[in-house]
């Protein structure tokens, strides 16, 4: 991959990928590492062909890298305990359209929604983020996560039910 093409992809999809990394990891430092690793992995792939949907391809790389990193964290946790993060570090948030969101929903409601999303088990959280934040169709999510369409629909339904329960106070 040449430098100009990489720069084009970073400019075109960088903000969306970084935002997804923030939401996935819930930590700015981890998100920055994951973001960089995503584009590095794309560069290192020698037989890379220009995909129809580059953003989808990048999100697929991001998810696989995160799953691998989580597996490593689990092994390390078995060997040595981690130092817990402060509450502020764990709940850092970033939004590509922050101004638009602030006009649409109050800050308090935003925080409540993201806290509820962060409480979801990771498999449900990934599906919710891909569906609502990245506007993926169910079939695309199923393909990216190597799941059946019915499994993705089931995960969406369970996640929605959980979020509805968690956000009862904000539902009018």
Q: Give residue-wise pLDDT tens across range 17-72.
A: 999 999 888 889 999 999 999 998 888 876 666 656 888 888 989 999 998 888 87
- Both 2 and 87 in one domain: the answer is yes
Task: Please give the residue range of the domain that contains residue 124.
Answer: 97-172
- Both 92 and 17 in one domain: the answer is yes
- Both 161 and 136 in one domain: the answer is yes
CA dihedral 29→87→123→74, nearest 10 degrees, is 70
The residue from 47, 71, 96 where one domain ends is 96
Spatial contact of 41 and 65, defined as CB atoms under 8 Å apart: yes
Helix 3-25 vs helix 54-79: crossing angle, to nearest 10: 50
The residue from 79, 96, 113 where one domain ends is 96
What pTM was computed for the model? 0.65
Tokens of 137: 């169709």
The residue from 96, 114, 139 where one domain ends is 96
- Both 44 and 89 in one domain: the answer is yes
The SS3 call for residue 77 is: helix
Each residue's pLDDT tens digit, 107-130: 777 778 888 888 999 899 999 999
Tokens of 104: 């649409």
Q: Which residues contact 23 (CB under 8 A, 6 or more apart)?
A: 93, 94, 114, 117, 129, 133
- Both 7 and 85 in one domain: the answer is yes
Q: Which residues contact 149 (CB under 8 A, 6 or more apart)?
A: 138, 139, 142
């Amino acid at each position: 991959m040449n430098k100009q093409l990489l720069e084009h992809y970073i400019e075109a999809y960088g903000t969306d990928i970084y935002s997804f990394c923030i939401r996935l990891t819930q930590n700015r430092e981890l998100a920055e590492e994951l973001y960089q690793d995503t584009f590095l992995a794309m560069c290192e792939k020698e037989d890379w062909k220009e995909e129809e949907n580059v953003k989808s391809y990048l999100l697929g790389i991001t998810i696989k890298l995160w799953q691998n990193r989580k597996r490593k964290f689990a092994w390390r946790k078995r060997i040595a305990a981690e130092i817990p993060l402060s509450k502020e570090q764990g709940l850092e948030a970033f939004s590509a359209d922050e101004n638009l969101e602030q006009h649409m929903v109050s800050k308090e409601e935003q925080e409540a929604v993201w806290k509820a999303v962060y409480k979801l088990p990771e498999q449900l959280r990934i599906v919710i983020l891909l569906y609502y934040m990245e506007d993926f169709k169910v079939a695309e999510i199923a393909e990216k996560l190597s799941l059946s369409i019915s499994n993705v629909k089931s995960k969406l339904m369970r996640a929605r039910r959980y979020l509805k329960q968690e956000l009862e106070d904000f539902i009018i």
